Structure 1
């Protein structure tokens, strides 16, 4: 972006919008093909013109608020709107009509109904979003999926609670009706419906706006040069602190100022980080992201008898199998620290973690620093990192006050005949404090802690690292730090997050961690638990709103806790729910495995998980990953030695649109068994559907390739095939390969709803300078502006489904030039600009290392509502 360029606000003359009949989404519940692709569009002769492509399988609700405004709304209640399957649809509902202000109105649309074909293995996911303008009425709707036999599943939809429903396991393809009905009194809201296969469910519908520290950055230098010595080439760096492995925390000169507002401070920090990225010797520069503890809704209750979670994962049998569960295994808990009755000293821990007698003393402090918390989150009385990981409390009984103590207790609470017990009660805990006040922590502190653990000698280094914390930012430097831990032999477990959506949460979503979601006592996904194709497995995390085992009490996880009432620290117990509670179950089970086989590595564990060797399958891969951790199966797998098994990359065959060929790479873990195992791989002939041709290549180094081609697209459907092979001992084993088929979706039927196309100023204000509207024509949009003055502009387009005067909000379709999520200005000179291409979608890119957060982004403001007529507000089915 060129922030120095200033352009006045001209009056631009708009060409007539290129329009065609909008209809309302169209599509078909049957399979489609790609024949008859529309010819290339003819662009108008204009100063600036182009085409907006539409993401495959995209549809729009036929009666959004914009449709009412333009008198184009088509009722889809009595006659359900047909959708392809899979699909991605944006919609709008409101039980009432009214106005946001004197300019923008919303309209009553109480119910939307859709018809589509589904089969086992697909998931219907619905997420809601509030308008950008504050309203008194809270959005709420009932979601129902049904077929000819009746209801298949229901759920209550709110902006904080998504709904996920899938057809019955093993069900053949049939037609379903999806009904979304706004509850009485509900205000206007947007929603997105995603229908996809389990292995392709990981979507975000919001631009990332992740919390980070103002005036700080985490950078990686190309050489171990001291940052202070390099300050001449690092812009505006006032001070620095080395975190380890060439990674530094740098601070911006406070004298530069931020005009006083939090929003401006964040934006100034991001502009500074962009400069750092261009500085010589800087390999990576990111905000100092804030991480949070991933627990929700504590219920203070010390009843040991309510530990329903252990029988659920077959833990008592595993205890008998190993005899001394966890003995000799070290587990690092990177969290809020642990409870101490005298937190100013590094001692007097919770008696269930260290009782100081013959029952055990399983807390060890092994690093020069065990408390890495810095900045405002550090409220333990010390300045910066120190040796004491004691949790100083926060004087409140909330889920973050003794979060790390709860996590540690689930992993390794002692078997001392009082209180609770942990999954691996004889393991050694390494408490590492990286989260401070309110359970918040920073990227820099977490990286510093990880590298300090990696730098330990092998005898002191942890075997397992538990990260019950997360953010939406995909920090490349955190991923690198975790990889250093994995390379050092540490197993890294991370909580999947409590968004209740498929939005990726990091570090869990990194490929080099073990991502753990949560289930209740009935083995159902907890309502808050994040999910998606990046999830590895699930464990008990609780859900206080449910009683899955019918014991008359909410499903919470009981573990160690503390009280700091009146500044008196007293050990206690509490019931919490969250993926923070699920992750330590897996860390504890890994401790039991590592006790049996100390050579187990992270790739080997991930391979076993994908094989189903450690879990009980629960259904949808997107909802549950490989399934629920089974402690006995895991211990047995470790006792047997991991042997040799196959792994594939990617893990499934994918056929979509007109793509009818795919290839998988097949490898052996551990690799030293490759020569013995790889030649034995064959395809189980009766597992291959008649519509698919497959063949295996000869070994190419350590890899063989499976090539697959669809020979009959009309018969192709979701299924799986099986590979057979013999391990090094000659035992016959199998590997199931999912086959995901998403053929069809004629490009001409794609429709993301009426789009407003804007030219936006290239300065910091992002003011709209010109606007036109377009509708889908042959599955794309054609736009044009005339009399565009020379200068720099951002080009954006999107829907305003709730008619609140902003496009590109969460749940709305959006296109940014040149790439959605990474907008860059285009330069208009003397010559016309034509042939510009953008792509619109309801999905949003994840916050990758190349992108930066959008501080306070609420969408792009429209110039005006169109058409300017006094339309009735009560226009509803």
Structure 2
């Protein structure tokens, strides 16, 4: 990712009243301390013993000892395959030194995993490898295309083994990294990147307290908006006046404007109009088609067997393809010949007309993304060209209707607003009417969680529509919407051997996996790269002509699922989201043999199995929420699990048949059609700093079948508070507006090292005498930030480094320092993780291209202005 700073819109200045008497140690703060406080460290945080900060000290050499880790930890580290230096655009020079390997002793129990995530540095992005000897003594290491790299311990003993884990730089250049071993639910919550979802400059989606049309001029004036377009009751698309051309500056201005909207009278909420992207990468049954031998992906999902069970090929079912539109042969005025017979009248929300045509691109590569996706779902048998009826390829549901809905424009990008409006049109909400489709495929995403988007999907679910979404191609566990919506089947991608594709997103929010391809692999050993073949067009003599190409991506995985759902829906028109999820949870839609639920969800799509399950009826099962429970003395020692009935049948009162001795479990209690299971941690039964993991097993009868449900539980009592260390921290007061190169100038700076699990910082009042020191403060308005500089490049708060912002990281506010009114005992928390944009954190805004905060030194503007000496 590229990171460059933007200016957060200023909140009203927070003038904190400094009582001047309650410092951290209880003593009165002297008048010369205008600002002081404490930075607490997030639980389990650790730091590599030889980061570049350490190596930069005179006479320092890479550590030869091995660091001992606790049972759970999140550690920031530094390795480099060589030595060198780099010069910033400001002319500052930073050295980086060789440190090829870091070694750790980590307690590992059978099945536990350790993960490595590399962030590179300004000196490059070297390949890092994670390795340790397994229980037989053989060294296991990660592959180069794993991101993050993860290894599991295969020991047979029930007691944890102390394993020597190594992180090695295999090439030149320096890298920051995070090495972590935390319980499953906690691991899913770790996002080490700043949210940087793209948005359309100059636009804001706004909710108002009153629903008047047109929007009152008073609200427009309060919003400093040029115009407002009505989207629905109380909802408006507002346009910012006098916006310059799209640029970093316009993005900054838009975010400042949106922040001001949030405090304007008459406005309830304001958010950017986020952009989404397509998830593809460059790279008498369908078996009778000439190009079928290329389509390994149909064999992987048991397509040939499914087509025997569903010879109608999904006839009568309509699949809406929310994408880039379809290729249209301008000469013949028809859609792609492998699609034309199945295409229904659609809608274009990009050009706002009734012809959802993908115009392609005369510049660069045009893959006709929507055409490729639609072909996987429902390319028809034969084609309509008349030249060779068997030439081409067919889709999974080859007789289903294709409803093309264009929401992606040039470059495969579109707006969240167009997506929401498209879903409302397909579901019949806007304008009011019957649903236009049975299934909605969304091979796009990269959005945060947006309440309006969730509401639009929920409306469709209530009407019986099924939604499928591509998980995303960022090799991350960070949730990508709309796929991560609880009402959408989130699909990850696998290669021809069923292994997770190198680019595919993963995590506990994945529902199932399907063929997405991987051009870097040949999983089925057929001598060809594992790409997914489907319909497209190519440029020939300056004119686009219909053709077929191979692509890879979760965009290709999702339509396999949508096609199978069309086959199922044709056999059982009553199939809805609740019934579908019941079948999924019961293992009726997938092959899960030996697969990782964190990457493959409930398994790899099995079309034959899914159709047989649909024929035999809908399962009735219990689904736990949360699905993984983590208990500790620092989070929660008691939790209630809701067991939700999925499916139409009856559920008997569940009975707990197995649980570990370190849990106390109450009998399940009925609440409507659901059940509540209360579990609590027996603190006297576990040892401090030892990770405990087990399952709570519940038995019940769902419908007419006896079933068991296993709920994984982890527990730990932490005593590591005083051992926490996130590395040396630089505490900065920075100006509230960025300078011309996108950085916030620091005007004052102190450093602190961890002491008993926290950092204590103090600034001094400016005394008017030279030389002025870095820690002197001039009254004014600032952001208060702090963080580590693991790779020694003069920047803090980069991915892989600790960061704290006042009052909450990700929601910084202005503090006002006034002469004679000290701000003492401020409290911050530093962490390696970053805030995500979700419906639960509506105040968080993206930081497109955030670079971090620059430390003061002899080359910085702040140091030049104050005459401060360079950092030693």
TM-score by length of 2: 0.85
Structure 2 residue aligned with 1:218: 205
Q: Which SS does the other structure have where 2:671 is aligned? A: coil
Quote the residue 1:719 is aligned against. Answer: 694
- Whether 2:731 is the aligned partner of 1:757: answer yes
Aligned mate of 2:322, from 312, 315, 334: 334
Q: Which residue of 2 aligns with 1:91?
A: 77
Moved more, 582-591 or 785-794: 785-794
1:482-505 alpha-carbon deviations (Å, 9 max, x no partner): 233323322221111111122222
Structure 1 residue runs of 5 or longer lacking an equivalent are 8-17, 19-38, 355-360, 374-383, 872-877
Q: Among 786, 811, 827, which residue is 1:822 paired with?
A: 811
**What is the alpha-carbon distance in structure 2 between the residues aligned to residue 315 and residue 390 of structure 1?**
29
Q: Is the 8 A contact 2:373 2:555 kept in 1?
A: yes
- Cα offsets for 1:420-474 (capped at 9, x unmatched): 2222112111111111111111122212211111226776521111111112533
Q: Show structure 2 runs of 5+ residues with no match.
A: 1-7, 15-22, 284-288, 383-389, 766-776
Hey, what does 1:700 align to over in structure 2? 671
* Residue in structure 2 matched with residue 13 of structure 1 by the alignment: none
Alignment of 1:111-190 (within 5 A): 111-131=101-121, 133=122, 135=123, 137-151=124-138, 153-155=140-142, 161-168=147-154, 172=158, 173-184=160-171, 186-190=172-176
Please give the secondary structure, in 2, of the residue aligned with 1:309. helix
Deviation of 1:99 (Å): 2.3
| Pairing partner for 1:427 from 396, 400, 407 | 400
In the alignment, what sits opposite 2:270? 285
Distance 1:201 1:302 in 2: 46
Alignment partner, residue 808 of structure 1: 797
Pick one of 532, 541, 563 that aligns with 1:566: 541
What's the secondary structure of 2:541's corresponding residue?
helix
Matched, 1:52 2:39: yes
- CA gap of 1:227–1:219, structure 2 versus 1, over 3 A, is farther
Report Cα offsets for 1:526-556 as digits up to 9, x if no partner: 1111112222221111111111122222111
Q: What is aligned with 2:417?
A: 444
Q: Residue in 2 aligned with 1:832?
A: 822
Rounded Cα–Cα distance in structure 2 between residues aligned with 1:72 and 1:604? 66
The residue that corresponds to 1:391 in the other structure is 358
Counterpart of 2:237 in structure 1 is 249
What displacement does 1:120 show? Answer: 4.5
Aligned partners of 2:676, 2:455: CA distance in 1, in Å?
A: 29
**Residue 754 of structure 2 corresponds to residue 776 of structure 1:** yes
Of residues 439, 459, 481 in structure 2, which corresponds to 1:506?
Answer: 481
Give the whole-Å Cα distance in 2 for the aligned partners of 1:868 and 1:606.
Answer: 63
Pick the aligned partner of 2:334 from 348, 352, 355: 348
Change in Cα spacing, 1:837 to 1:611, as seen in structure 2 (3 Å) is farther
Greater relative contact order structure (CA < 8 Å, 6+ sep): 1
CA–CA separation in structure 1 for the residues paired with 2:140 and 2:714:
23
> Matches of residues 513-662 of structure 1 in structure 2 within 5 Å?
513-617=488-592, 618-657=594-633, 659-662=636-639
Shift of 1:322: 2.8
- Report the CA distance shift for 1:228/1:661 in structure 2 as closer, same or farther (over 3 A): closer
Change (3 A) 1:519 1:349: same
Q: Alpha-carbon deviation of 1:863?
A: 0.8
d(CA) in 2 for partners of 1:124, 1:851? 30
CA contact (8 A) 1:4 1:763 kept: no
The answer to whether the Cα contact below 8 Å between 1:213 and 1:289 also exists between their aligned partners in 2 is yes
Match for residue 682 of structure 1 among 651, 655, 658: 655
Partner of 2:55: 68
CA distance in structure 1 between the partners assigned to 2:517 and 2:306 by the alignment: 21
Q: In the alignment, is the contact (CA less than 8 A) between 2:275 and 2:414 conserved in 1? A: yes
Partner Cα separation in structure 2 for residue 413 and residue 223 of structure 1: 47
1:152 Cα offset (Å): 6.1
Q: Within 2, Cα distance between the matches of 1:699 and 1:860? A: 52
CA separation of 1:609/1:743 partners in 2, compared to 1, >3 Å: closer, same or farther? farther
SS of aligned partner of 1:204: coil
Matches of 2:595 and 2:717 in 1, distance apart?
23
Deviations 1:503-533 (A, max 9, x none): 2222222333221111111111111111122
2:358 corresponds to 1:371? no
User: Could you say which residue in structure 1 is the equivalent of 2:19?
Assistant: none
Matched, 1:80 2:66: yes
State the 1:111 CA deviation.
1.3
Which of 359, 374, 377 aligns to 1:408? It is 374
Summarize the alignment of residues 191-202 of structure 1 with structure 2, pairs less than 5 Å apart.
Answer: 191-202=177-188
State the distance in 2 between where 1:177 and 1:639 align.
52
1:451-466 equivalences under 5 Å are 451-455=424-428, 460-466=435-441
Change (3 A) 1:496 1:476: same
The equivalent of 2:646 in structure 1 is: 669
CA offset at residue 200 of structure 1?
A: 4.0
Q: 1:195 to 1:315 in 2, by over 3 A?
A: farther
State the distance in 2 between where 1:833 and 1:95 align.
45
Find the residue that maps to 2:440 and give its secondary structure: strand
CA contact (8 A) 1:644 1:728 kept: yes
Secondary structure of the corresponding residue to residue 451 of structure 1? helix
Secondary structure of 2:548 counterpart: strand
Write the distance in 1 (CA, Å) between the matches of 2:97 and 2:708: 56
Question: 2 CA distance for matches of 1:396 and 1:751?
Answer: 51
1:737 pairs, out of 711, 719, 727, with: 711
Change (3 A) 1:5 1:280: closer
Taking a change above 3 Å as real, the CA distance of residues 389 and 754 of structure 1, as seen in their structure-2 partners, is same
**Displacement after TM superposition at 1:232 (Å):** 3.8
Distance 1:41 1:180, change over 3 A: farther
Q: Deviations over 1:303-346 (max 9, x none)?
A: 43121112222232222223323222111111111111128x9x
- In structure 1, distance between residues paired with 2:478 and 2:418: 24
Please give the secondary structure, in 2, of the residue aligned with 1:201: helix
Deviation at 1:789, TM superposition (A): 4.3
CA change 1:329–1:840 in 2 (3 A) is same
Aligned residues: 801
- The residue that corresponds to 2:97 in the other structure is 107
CA distance in 1, matches of 2:72, 2:248: 39
Residue in 1 aligned with 2:311?
323
What is the RMSD of the two structures over their aligned residues, measured on CA atoms? 3.1
Cα-to-partner distance string for 1:655-699 (whole Å, 9 max, x where unaligned): 2355443321122224x65xx42x431112xx3233333222332
Structure 1 residue matching 2:166: 3-state secondary structure: strand
Indicate how the Cα distance of structure 1 residues 169 and 633 shifts in structure 2: closer, same or farther if over 3 A, else same. farther
Asked if the contact 1:200–1:532 (Cα under 8 Å) also holds between the matched residues in 2, the reply is no
Aligned equivalents of 2:36 and 2:624: distance in 1?
Answer: 45
